[in-house]
Amino acid sequence: MGEALAILARASPALSLGETIPYDPSTVTHTSPSGSRRHADRRLPFVLAMISAILASGAVAARSPAAAAPDPRPTSAQTVQEGEPADGQVDLFDLIAKLRGADDAPAEGPPDAEDDDARLFIFPAVGGSPSVGLAVGALATITDYFGEPGETDLSSILISASVTTRKQILVVARSDLSTRENRWRLLGDWRLYKFTERTHGLGSDTSDRTAADVDYDWYRLHQTAYTPLWGDLQMGGGYHLDIHRGIQLATEQPPEPLSSSQATRFDATTSSGVSLDVLFDTRDNPLNPDRGLYGRAGYTFYREGLGGNSDWENLQLEARAYRRLPTARRQTLGVWGIGWFTQAGEPPYFDLPSLGWDTYGRTGRGYRAGRFRGRDWIYGEVEYRTDITRNGLFGAVGFFNASSFSDSDTQRFQRWVFGGGLGARIKLDKERRSNVSVDVGWGREGSLGLFLAINEAF
- Phi and psi dihedrals of 162, rounded to 5? -145, 150
Q: Residue range 244-250: average pLDDT?
A: 88
Q: How far is CA 300 from CA 158, 171, 275, 320, in A?
A: 25, 25, 4, 21
Helix (H, G, I), strand (E, B) or coil at 352: coil
Per-residue pLDDT reduced to its tens digit, 162-183: 998 888 899 999 999 999 999 9
Residues 6+ apart with CB under 8 A from 216: 26, 27, 193, 195, 197, 244, 245, 246, 247, 248, 350
Residues 142 and 118 sit within 8 Å (Cβ to Cβ): yes
Check pLDDT > 80 for residue 325. yes
Residues 446 and 419 sit within 8 Å (Cβ to Cβ): no
Check pLDDT > 70 for residue 335. yes
Per-residue pLDDT reduced to its tens digit, 190-223: 999 998 888 888 889 888 888 888 889 999 999 9
Q: Where are the alpha helices (DSSP H) in 213-302?
A: 258-261
Cα distance from N-terminal residue to C-terminal residue, the chain: 7
Residue 322, amino acid: Y
- Tell me what pLDDT residue 71 has: 37
Most confident of 85-89, 366-370, 397-401: 397-401
Nearest to 206 by CA among 56, 368, 91: 368
Per-residue pLDDT reduced to its tens digit, 397-439: 999 999 999 987 777 898 899 999 999 999 999 988 999 999 9
Q: Give the chain's radius of gyration (CA, Å).
A: 22
Class of domain 9-454: mainly beta
Helix (H) or strand (E) holding 132: none
Residues 55 and 295 sit within 8 Å (Cβ to Cβ): yes
